[in-house]
Amino acid sequence: MGRRTLIAAVAAAGAALAALVAPPLAAQPAGALSGGGDMLVIAHRGASGERPEHTLAAYERAIDAGADYIEPDLVATSDLVLVARHENELSDTTDVASREEFAERRRSKEIDGQMVSGWFAEDFTLAELRTLRTVERLPSVRPGNTLYDGLYQIPTFAEIVRLVRAKEAETGRSIGLYPELKHPNFLLQSEGIDTVDLLVLALREAGYAGADAPVFVQSFEVAPLRRLAQRTDFRLIQLVAPEGGPADVPSLSYAEMLSPAGLAEIATYADGIGAAIPLLLEADGRATPVVADATAAGLEVHAWTLRKENVFLPPPMRSGGGEGAVGCDASLFALLETAGVDGVFADDPARALDWRGGGVQPGCATPGDER
């Protein structure tokens, strides 16, 4: 059976099962999950500052902290199951390199113009991936997370949805999903795997529908978002980076996309941008024109990524103690808030929620303080 035939078969089976899936809690409008119009806190790969990223443990910890949304990056297996990994290459976040039974699976692929060597999710069935265990991706920065190496499996998107549903039932609150499609053009063109179709099917099966559903879908590419805009009412986020451009539109740069004309074009198919913090804040902490220009185009602005460790913070916000020591992430949160950013991806959502609630980090400046 070919992959496209398999997608059709999965869709037919999903339609038969859809009636058995409990609907989500009542849909809430955009912003309703942010706690009264405050900046959304999006748990970046779960609570990835406390547990290995993209594990059910990381997502559950983020939910328990009160995150508005959890963010799974999605790739696919050879048998067309969406799973959560930061990249389709597995060696940074699993023990695959130490597994002799998969040694022959190591290969090199050109992905978005770069040669990448390793083990790739799309070359494994789900059953094979289930034999792997996750590991911390940044062991030198987050040695505490390495205590959990080997404990968790790679979760499927369906399992993440089930976790969200269970936690909604437990807490009585709506918990948002913010999936990112990783390398969708490569997977479609080189591997014959259409992750747009797989995601639309998965969300429909789970009962999510309409612009008020607690769902954002994000991508660094353009065509997948345009397809989603035609097929769904989910809120869509165009990701942009300080360098390069979308892999599926080589002639277009992110810098061009962030011009007023480029932002107006994004607004024809998306509801917001997800931008790296240096694109939103000047070196002195003031907002760049991107924030106001995006807002004028009718786009939300979500910033990535708020992290507590020195290595990820601007030099003035770092503390003593090395790259893994905790710096002044509260100061960075406050600058984003002052700049008018609508949401922030955070590796430590509990901390971000504390700063959103008025928490103070001793020894750290806030906007308006002398620095």
174 within 8 A of 214, measured Cβ to Cβ: yes
Q: Could you give the CA distance from residue 333 to residue 191 in angstroms, rounded to a whole number? A: 40
Query: What is the average pLDDT across 180-209?
Result: 97
Q: Which alpha helices (DSSP H) does the chain contain, by range?
A: 3-17, 56-65, 126-129, 157-171, 184-191, 195-205, 223-231, 254-257, 260-266, 277-280, 289-296, 329-339, 349-356
Q: CB neighbours (10 Å) of residue 364?
A: 17
Q: What pLDDT shows up at residue 365?
A: 83
Q: What pLDDT shows up at residue 369?
A: 55
Q: Could you give the CA distance from residue 329 to residue 309 in angstroms, rounded to a whole number? A: 8
Q: What pLDDT shows up at residue 366?
A: 74
Answer positive or negative: Cα dihedral of 258, 264, 269, 273.
positive
Q: What pLDDT shows up at residue 31?
A: 41
pTM for the model stands at 0.90
Question: Tell me, what amino acid is at 25?
Answer: L
Q: How far apart are the first and last CA of the chain?
A: 64
Q: Could you give the CA distance from residue 226 to residue 360 in angstroms, rounded to a whole number? A: 41
Question: Tens digits of per-residue pLDDT, 15-68?
Answer: 333 333 344 444 443 344 544 468 999 999 999 999 999 999 999 999 999 999
Question: For residue 234, what is the DSSP state?
Answer: -
**In the chain, pLDDT over 70 holds for what percent of residues?**
89
Which of 129, 76, 135, 136 lies closest to 102 in space, CA to CA? 129
| CATH tag for 3-87+155-356 (out of 3.40.50.20, 3.40.50.80, 3.20.20.190, 1.10.1040.10) | 3.20.20.190
What are the extents of the domains in the chain? Answer: 3-87+155-356
Res 270 pLDDT > 70: yes
Query: What is the average pLDDT across 113-129?
Result: 98
